[in-house]
Structure formats: structure tokens, C-alpha cells
Amino acid sequence: MSTVFASLSGKSFRGGFWLVLLGAALWGVDPLFRIILLKSMTSSQIVLLEHAVLFLAAAPVLWKRRSELRALRLRHIGALLVVSWGGSAVATILFTKALVSGDLNMVLLLQKLQPLFAIGLAAVVLKERLPRNFGFLLLVALVGTYLLTFGWTLPLGHTGTFIGWSSLMALGAAALWGGSTVMGRYLLGTLQYETVTSLRFVMALPLLFVIAQVEAQPWQLNNGYGGWGLVALNLLLQALLPGLLSMLLYYKGLETTKASYATLAELSFPMTGVLINWVVYSQVITPAQLLGFILIWVTLFIISNQRNQLELPAKVQTKAA
């Protein structure tokens, strides 16, 4: 994997934000393959096989970089568990299950809350300063989330209908991915981006195997939509494009990008997904969802603008010195 990005090596690379954006944009094509695979496998089985493919690519790189593992401490192991078990395994399963039981646009657009989770955690773990009026901005974003989930209607009656399990799973995935962004940025202070990418996939595999065994669902690869050949092709493309390539781009960009900025760049993920959803599946965004989208986007734009203003004085002082 290291040869893929040889031209991008070095701490002086300035396009980190755009690499994060491009890597996150590739995540948006994930449903294009995952929805086809759901016709023949469960959510856990898909993620397990996906990581088995990724393991074959990541294991040789991890063996080559094994000397880096000597620098790991207990806190690094905890961060790796958040990235691999939380961000790579559990979050992906939650996202896949949400796709099965919920509206595709709603699931994709709820990922807009991921930056809020990441910014809050970055303030605690990485000591990154929170934006002004963060509480109010969070409230506005929650209103936008409500509109994305329920539209103009007021949910009444059954509690499960009010909460919406698909919405909870999508939000859970967003929270775990937000935490994974922060922990990934933390790990890049000790490990190289290829090592973090490899560890993310390798460490998630045992947990995914246990989850699939506990689930105890029969495998139906031969009954897949379009035959096993199409299933295998979609699995391979899913693992290599929104899986391997996207994460290499993402972690390479994250080396030189703050977690708070990186999580804003990740907004390209739901944008790509919604575009594909519109072009391929002919599903349009409702006016309520559009308003919710705008509220969350405005919130994140204000946060981004505040952070730019905070960095400007520091740059001026550096030049003066």
C-alpha cells in the first residue's frame, strides 16, 4: 500500500484536507455495492467478508511495519479499539442495518451529525478548542436531525415509532465514526498512516467473526442476486474502493489535518451517497429533509468559519517571529 502514495509522502504535504474529503467521498459509493450484497447476506456477514478481503491487503503491510508497534502503549491500544472495533466493525454493521430498515436518504443525511460528535471529542482528547456558542449550534443541528428523520409530522403513539430504530443505528454509526476520526488523528502522532489503516482492518476481523458466529445466520452466497459471481464482484469492489482506497486517502490526509477540520471534510460522504441515491435509485429528498440538511450545513459552516478565525492570529504571530 505504501507505494500507492509514495508521491504524497512527507510531513510538508499541504493537501491533507482534500485527501480526507476525497477519501470520505468514496464512502458514499458504499451503498451502491452494499444494497446488492444485502440480498444474499446479513449485515454482519457482509462486513466480515469485506474485512477478510481487506486483511489480505493489510497483513503484509503490517508485517513490514511491525517495528512501529513497539512504540504502542495502553492508551494507543484503547484508541485502536475505538478505530477498529467501533469505527470499522460496529459502526459499519449499524450503518448496514440502518440501510435495511430505514429510508436511504435519511440514513445518509444523518451522517451530517458525525462532525458534531468528532468536534466534541476532539476538544476532550486532543484539547482542540470548542467553537463559540457550541450548545446553541448543537440544538440547531438536532432540529435539523429531527426534520431529516420525521419530516413535518409529530411522531405519536408507540415509542419505537417515535425513536426510529434505523435513525438510532444511523446516529450510533455517526457517533462511532466521529470518535474514530479523533482517535485516528491521535494515533497518527505515533504511527504512519499505512500502519493505522492496516491495524484498523486487522484488529476488527476477530470481533466480526465472533459477531457472525453469535448471529448464527445461514450463508446464502449461492442464492445471491445475479449469482455468486456478481456477489463476489460487488464484495471486492466494496472492499477496495470505499474500503481500502478510501481509508488510505483518509489517513494520509489526516496526518496533516486537525480532527475538527477532517470531520467537516467528511461531509462529502453523505453528499456522494445522496447523489448516487438520486441517480441510481430515483429517490428524491423531501422539502423537510432539505431544510434539515440546510440547518446542519449552516451549523457546520459557522463552526468551520470560527476555527479559521482562531487559526489566523497564530499564523500572523508565526510570520512576525
Grid cell 450510533 is found at: 172
* pLDDT for the residue numbered 42: 82
Grouping H, G, I as helix, E, B as strand and the rest as coil, residue 56 is helix
* pLDDT for the residue numbered 314: 44
C-beta of residue 112 within 8 angstroms of C-beta of residue 299 = no
C-beta of residue 87 within 8 angstroms of C-beta of residue 175 = no
Alpha-carbon distance of 276 to 281, in angstroms, equals 7
Helix (H) or strand (E) segment spanning residue 224: none
Mean pLDDT of the chain: 77
C-beta of residue 304 within 8 angstroms of C-beta of residue 264 = yes
pLDDT digits (tens, 9 = 90+) for 215-249: 877 776 655 555 677 788 888 888 888 888 998 89
Q: Which residue has the higher pLDDT, 255 or 297?
A: 255
Alpha-carbon distance of 110 to 123, in angstroms, equals 22
| Closest C-alpha among 200, 202, 177, 203 to residue 55 | 202
Q: Residue 214 burial (CB < 10 Å; 0-12/13-18/19+)?
A: exposed
* pLDDT for the residue numbered 269: 73
What value does the mean pLDDT take over residues 126-146?
77
pLDDT digits (tens, 9 = 90+) for 174-226: 899 889 989 999 999 899 999 999 999 999 999 989 988 888 777 766 555 55
* pLDDT for the residue numbered 146: 75
Q: Does the pLDDT at position 147 exceed 90?
A: no
* pLDDT for the residue numbered 195: 92
Q: Does the pLDDT at position 280 exceed 60?
A: yes
SS3 content of the chain, % helix, strand, coil (to 5): 80, 0, 20
* pLDDT for the residue numbered 283: 73
What are 167's three cell numbers?
435513525
Alpha-carbon distance of 131 to 305, in angstroms, equals 9
* pLDDT for the residue numbered 234: 84
C-beta of residue 141 within 8 angstroms of C-beta of residue 263 = no
pLDDT more than 90, % of the chain: 15
Alpha-carbon distance of 214 to 48, in angstroms, equals 13
Grouping H, G, I as helix, E, B as strand and the rest as coil, residue 226 is coil
Burial 151-164 (b: 16+ CB within 10 A, else e): beeeeeeeeeeeeb
Q: Which residue has the higher pLDDT, 33 or 55?
A: 55
- Least reliable range by pLDDT among 131-145, 170-184, 265-279: 265-279
| Closest C-alpha among 176, 25, 22 to residue 89 | 176
